[in-house]
C-alpha cells in the first residue's frame, strides 16, 4: 500500500490535517495505527472528534511516533487505498530529549519508505508580523532530500488565519517547481485540490 | 576511524543519539544518495579506541575530567589494597564496580568507560576489559520473552568486560507493561549470575539518571560508584580543539584560533544546548579540515604550509555548515 507521509516542523498542523482529511473523506470513526520509534505497533480506534481533541495540541512535539490512517480515494470507477502517515515535528538541531530525538530519526527514516511526501508549513506563522526567522534550514534541507525520495508537494496550512497569505507567498517564492496547496486543517479549505492531487499520485 | 556513512541506518542512529542534528542528517542522506557513500578521514593518532598501554596514563591525558580522574585513582587503589588484604587473610569488602555515569552527550562518558575496561583488565578484575555499548533498542524486543533473550545476548557479548547502557532510563520509560522492565529484570539477574565477569555502567543525562535511580530503590546499592561528567568549560574546549588539530597534523592560524574561541565562547555564554560538548568541537574541527581541502583544491595550493594551516575562513565555513 502506498504511503503518503506528512512532515514538517512541530505544531504546523500535521496531526490536525491527518484527522481533518480523514473526516473530509467521510470517516466518522477511525483506526489509527501507531508505530513507535522502537518498532512496536499498535492500533487505536476512536471517534474522530475524540482523536482530534486527544492528538491535536497547541504545544510542540505532541506527536512522538508515526500514526497513520488507511484512506480510500475514488479513482475512475473504483477506489485507491493508501496510508496517510503523520509524523513527529522536525527541528534544525539536536533535541535534548532522547525520546524526541528518536521520534525525529524515525520520521526521517520514514521518508525513504514513503511514495508521497507532503511537506507542511504554518503559513500563518511564516506570515505573521512578529516572525522574523523566515523559512528555516530544516525545511530547506527537507525539501532537497524529500523530492529525491518521493513525489513531493507542499501544504501551506492555517490559511484561515490572518497573515497566512503572506506566508504562502514566502513559501512559493522560496520553493520553486513544486506544487504548493494552501489549506486549512480547521476549515478544510483547499482539501478538494489536495484530494485530486493525491489521487493521481497514490 | 570516524564514522563514514555507508548506509542510511547509521545516519538514523546518529540522529537518534544526538550526534547529528536533523539538518546534518538530511545533508548526509543526500550525499549518500548522490555518491553512494560519503568521504572518510584517516583515523587519528589519539583515537580512544586505540589500545592504551597504561590505562591510567591514557585517562590522565584526557583534558579536564578532574573529578573523574580522582575517583578512578581511588577505585584503582581500593582494588589493589583489597587484593593485598586478602593475601593477609584480612576481611575484604565485596568488590562491586557497577557504575552510574551522569552527564550530557559529548562529555567523555564512553571514552572513560573504555579506559576503565582496560584499567580493570590491567588490575585483573576483568578478563577481557572490552566495552559493549548498547541502548534501549538493542535490549528491548517485540514480544514477551524476546526482550530477555536479546538482553541475555548482549550480556553474553559483554562477559569479561563492561556493558555500557546509554540513556538507561529509557528502559523504565513505558511503565509496567513495557518490555523495558523485562530488560531491567534480566540485567539484574545477569549481575548476580555473572558477578565476577561483568561490570555494568548505566549512563545518561544527569537529571534523568537521578530520577531513574530515585524511582528504582534497588539501584543505588547495586551501582555504588557514581561519576559526574560536567560540561567542558571554554578553556577545556579550546584545549580539546587544539589537541585534535595537532593530532591530525594541522595547526590553527592565529585568526582561526581567535575565531574558534569566539564561536565556542558564544555557545558557552548563550547557554547553547550544545555548550561543553567535545563531540561538537570534534565535528567543527573535522568540518574545518574538509573546508580547507575544498579551499586548497579550488586555489590549486598544495605547498606544505598551506596543507597544514586551518584559516579563519575554514572555521567560519565549518561553523556555517553546522547551523
Ligand atoms: N487556525 C488553525 N489552527 C490550526 C490549523 N491546523 C492546526 N492548527 C492548530 O495548531 C496547533 C498544532 O496542531 P497539531 O496538529 O497538533 O500540529 P502538529 O504539526 O501535529 O504538531 P506536533 O505533533 O507537535 O509536531 C493546534 O493548536 C491546532 O489546533 C489550521 O488549519 N488553522
Ligand atoms: Mg502532531
8 Å CB contact of A90 and B137: no
Q: What's the predicted TM-score (pTM) here?
A: 0.52
- Check if B96-229 and B234-322 are the same fold: no
Assign domain B234-322 to its CATH architecture.
Orthogonal Bundle (1.10)
B31 pLDDT band (50/70/90 cuts)?
Answer: confident
Pocket of ligand 1 (CB under 6 A): A 10-16, 56-58, 60-63, 89, 157-158, 160-161, 184-186
8 Å CB contact of B137 and A142: no
- Whether ipTM > 0.90 holds is yes
Q: Which residue from A155, A162, A19, A9 is spatially nearest to A89, judged by alpha carbons?
A: A9
3-state secondary structure of B187: helix
Which of A5, A8, A16 best tests ligand 1's pocket when mutated (most atoms within 8 Å of CB)? Answer: A16
Does residue B52 surpass a pLDDT of 50?
no
Could you tell me if B295 and B313 are in contact, meaning their C-beta atoms sit under 8 angstroms apart? yes
DSSP H or E run through B228: strand B225-229
Q: How many CB atoms lie within 10 A of CB A42?
A: 10
Could you tell me if B184 and B215 are in contact, meaning their C-beta atoms sit under 8 angstroms apart? no
8 Å CB contact of B323 and A137: yes
CATH superfamily of B96-229: P-loop containing nucleotide triphosphate hydrolases (3.40.50.300)
Q: Where are the domains of chain B?
A: 96-229, 234-322
pLDDT digits (tens, 9 = 90+) for B168-225: 988 887 666 678 888 988 998 898 888 888 999 999 999 999 988 888 777 888 898 9
- In chain A, residues with a C-beta closer than 8 Å to the C-beta of B8 are 109, 112
Backbone angles phi, psi at A70, to 5 degrees: -85, 125
Which CATH code is given to the segment(s) A3-201?
3.40.50.300
- What are the residues of chain A with a beta carbon less than 8 Å away from any beta carbon of chain B? 37-40, 90-96, 98-99, 101-102, 104-106, 108-109, 112, 137-138, 141-142, 144-145, 148-149
Q: Tell me, what DSSP letter sits at residue A6?
A: E
- Identify the segments of chain A with pLDDT beneath 70: none
Q: Supply the pLDDT for residue A22.
A: 97
Mutate which: A87, A102, A137, A140, vs B, most B CBs within 10 A: A102
The 10 Å CB-count burial string (b at 16+, else e) for B12-48 is bbbbbbbbbbbbbbbbbbeebeeeeebeeeeebeeee
How much of chain B, in percent, has pLDDT values that exceed 90? 42
Which three cell numbers mark B15? 540522529
DSSP H or E run through B24: helix B22-35
B44 pLDDT band (50/70/90 cuts)?
Answer: very low
Amino acid at each position: 500500500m502506498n504511503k503518503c507521509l506528512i512532515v514538517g516542523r512541530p505544531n504546523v498542523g500535521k496531526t490536525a490535517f491527518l484527522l481533518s482529511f480523514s473526516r473530509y473523506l467521510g470517516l466518522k470513526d477511525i483506526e489509527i495505527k501507531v508505530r513507535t520509534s522502537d518498532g512496536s505497533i499498535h492500533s487505536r480506534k476512536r471517534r474522530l472528534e475524540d482523536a482530534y481533541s486527544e492528538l491535536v495540541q497547541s504545544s510542540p512535539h505532541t506527536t512522538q511516533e508515526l500514526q497513520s490512517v488507511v484512506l480510500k480515494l475514488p479513482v475512475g470507477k473504483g477506489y485507491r487505498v493508501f496510508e496517510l502517515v503523520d509524523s513527529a515535528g522536525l527541528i534544525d538541531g539536536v533535541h535534548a530529549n532522547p525520546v524526541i530525538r528518536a521520534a525525529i530519526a524515525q520520521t526521517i527514516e520514514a521518508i525513504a519508505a514513503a511514495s508521497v511526501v507532503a511537506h507542511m508549513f504554518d503559513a500563518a506563522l511564516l506570515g505573521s508580523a512578529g516572525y522574523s526567522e523566515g523559512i528555516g534550514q530544516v525545511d530547506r534541507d527537507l525539501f532537497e532530500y524529500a523530492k529525491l525520495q518521493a513525489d513531493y508537494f507542499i501544504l501551506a496550512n492555517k490559511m484561515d488565519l490572518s497573515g497566512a497569505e503572506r506566508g504562502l507567498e514566502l513559501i512559493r517564492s522560496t520553493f520553486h517547481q513544486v506544487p504548493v496547496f494552501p489549506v486549512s486543517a480547521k476549515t478544510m479549505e483547499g482539501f478538494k485540490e489536495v484530494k485530486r492531487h493525491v489521487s493521481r499520485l497514490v | 576511524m570516524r564514522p563514514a556513512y555507508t548506509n542510511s541506518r547509521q545516519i538514523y542512529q546518529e540522529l537518534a543519539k544526538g550526534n547529528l542534528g536533523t539538518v546534518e542528517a538530511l545533508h548526509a542522506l543526500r550525499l549518500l544518495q548522490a555518491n553512494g557513500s560519503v568521504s572518510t578521514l584517516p583515523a587519528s593518532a589519539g583515537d580512544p579506541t586505540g589500545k592504551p598501554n597504561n590505562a591510567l596514563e591514557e585517562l590522565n591525558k584526557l583534558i579536564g575530567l578532574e573529578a573523574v580522574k580522582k575517583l578512578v585513582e581511588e577505585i584503582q587503589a581500593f582494588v589493589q589494597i583489597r587484593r593485598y588484604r586478602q593475601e593477609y587473610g584480612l576481611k575484604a569488602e565485596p568488590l562491586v564496580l557497577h557504575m552510574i555515569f551522569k552527564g550530557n552527550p559529548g562529555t567523555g562518558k564512553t571514552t572513560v568507560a573504555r579506559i576503565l575496561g582496560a584499567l580493570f583488565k590491567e588490575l585483573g578484575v576483568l578478563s577481557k576489559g572490552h566495552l559493549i555499548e548498547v541502548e534501549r533498542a538493542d535490549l528491548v524486543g517485540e514480544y514477551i520473552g524476546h526482550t530477555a533473550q536479546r538482553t541475555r545476548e548482549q550480556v553474553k557479548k559483554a562477559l569479561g568486560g563492561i556493558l555500557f547502557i546509554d540513556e538507561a532510563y529509557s528502559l523504565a520509560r513505558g511503565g509496567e507493561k513495557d518490555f523495558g522492565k523485562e530488560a531491567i529484570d534480566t540485567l539484574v539477574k545477569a549481575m548476580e549470575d555473572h558477578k565476577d565477569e561483568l561490570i555494568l555502567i548505566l549512563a545518561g543525562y544527569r537529571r534523568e539518571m537521578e530520577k531513574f535511580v530515585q524511582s528504582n530503590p534497588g539501584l543505588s546499592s547495586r551501582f555504588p560508584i557514581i561519576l559526574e561528567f560536567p560540561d567542558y568549560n571554554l578553556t577545556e574546549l579550546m584545549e580539546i580543539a587544539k589537541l585534535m588539530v595537532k593530532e591530525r597534523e594541522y595547526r590553527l592560524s592565529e585568526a582561526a584560533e581567535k575565531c574558534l574561541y569566539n564561536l565556542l565562547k558564544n555557545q558557552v555564554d548563550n547557554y547553547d544546548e550544545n555548550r561543553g560538548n567535545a563531540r561538537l568541537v570534534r565535528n567543527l574541527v573535522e568540518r574545518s579540515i574538509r573546508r580547507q581541502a575544498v579551499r586548497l583544491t579550488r586555489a590549486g595550493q598544495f605547498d606544505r604550509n598551506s596543507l597544514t594551516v586551518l584559516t579563519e575562513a575554514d572555521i567560519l565555513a565549518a561553523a556555517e555548515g553546522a547551523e
